[in-house]
Amino acid sequence: MKICTNMKERIEQLQKKINQVKIDSKETLEQFRIQWLSKKSELQDLLSGIKNVVPKERKSVGALINKLKEEAEEKFNNYKEKFKETAQTQQLPDSYLPGQPIQLGSRHPLNLVAVQINTIFQSLGFSLADGPEIEDDWHNFSALNFPPEHPARDMQDTFFVDDEIALRTHTSSVQVRLMETQKPPMRYIMPGRVYRNEAISARANCFFHQAEGLYIDKKVSFADLKQVLFEFVRQMFGAECKNRFRPSYFPFTEPSAEMDISCFICGGKGCPVCKQSGWVEILGCGMVDPQVLSNSGHDPETYSGYAFGMGIERITMLKYSINDIRVFFDNDIRFLKQFI
């Protein structure tokens, strides 16, 4: 009987102790498990002492110990669950945090200007066209009236693939391809990449970009050409920008001219970019040579036309006051991100 009373008292004391245990971390939870639920715990000790209890009390004492054990287990499981939850919530991203800003890329300045050139000429009735960058001798040179001994055909200027094939040196080759396949009236703007075997410097690169223009119809005149180019300069550089035409020579146009604009950088006063002249050249142009018309299957007695070609790098450099062509191809983010 005495034993039984002792047992009950011990059970009550242990229950108090268990209730008082403070669990506030994974470590204290583990200590709790070892102290109260492991094989060496006091509760286990109590259970093995049951054989000393008088038989008629054994059942009720056993039930008390089991209840205590269950309570300890419940306490353990509750805290285990709680710590699992907090561990999980710590891993979850906070959905109320403002999002990370996504870095957007920017348009390449050459692309911005090429699109602007296309848009201006499209607004004047021109359609977009392009042609191959690897071109044959006929389309790049012969059909455009370049005599066999012309210096542009020289190995020093042209990247040849073999005797007949080269990387195109200008977009004028696309003119020939269009004239061979289309019937007048035709009005095209042809942007694209061209290649020249030149030493790389602040002013020259071994590849660059051009936009070529072509209009073939009956009774096309030089006045039509000037009118379109005036409008182009007005839209690209603004109404206050002056321009002038200078006579020039190209094998595929007759007469030929070059168009200058008042220097965009010094406003015409004179600076290193315009070599103190106040003018900078922006394009070559002229009336399509009758020989070029017949080379591509059109009767020069019936049709006439004009053509022009401009360097996209040159226009971009003037527009944004850039003094070194190499920056377009360096892929330096600090330069590129200025253009939105």
Footprint of ligand DAH (CB under 6 A): 170, 172, 212, 250, 253, 284-286, 307-309
Nearest CB to ligand DAH, comparing residues 192 and 286: 286
- Could you give the C-alpha distances from 18 to 32, 196, 263, 291, in angstroms and in order? 9, 89, 91, 108
Residue whose CB is nearest to ligand DAH in the complex, by number = 309
Nearest CA among 167, 161, 166, 252 for reference residue 212: 252
Nearest CB to ligand DAH, comparing residues 73 and 217: 217
Nearest CB to ligand DAH, comparing residues 250 and 264: 250
Residue 210 beta carbon to ligand DAH: minimum distance, rounded to whole angstroms: 6
d(CA 162, CA 159): 9
User: Is residue 156 classed as helix, strand or coil in its secondary structure?
Assistant: coil
Nearest CB to ligand DAH, comparing residues 83 and 160: 160
Residue 196 beta carbon to ligand DAH: minimum distance, rounded to whole angstroms: 9
Residue 232 beta carbon to ligand DAH: minimum distance, rounded to whole angstroms: 14
Nearest CB to ligand DAH, comparing residues 250 and 328: 250
- Taking the CA atoms of residue 48, residue 50, residue 52 and residue 56 in that order, the dihedral angle to the nearest 10 degrees is -160
Beta strand 207-217 with 243-250 is unpaired
Residue 269 beta carbon to ligand DAH: minimum distance, rounded to whole angstroms: 28
Residue 309 beta carbon to ligand DAH: minimum distance, rounded to whole angstroms: 3
Nearest CA among 106, 180, 79 for reference residue 71: 79
Q: Work out whether the CA dihedral 283, 289, 295, 298 comes out positive or negative.
A: positive
Residue 175 beta carbon to ligand DAH: minimum distance, rounded to whole angstroms: 6
d(CA 283, CA 117): 13
Nearest CB to ligand DAH, comparing residues 65 and 228: 228
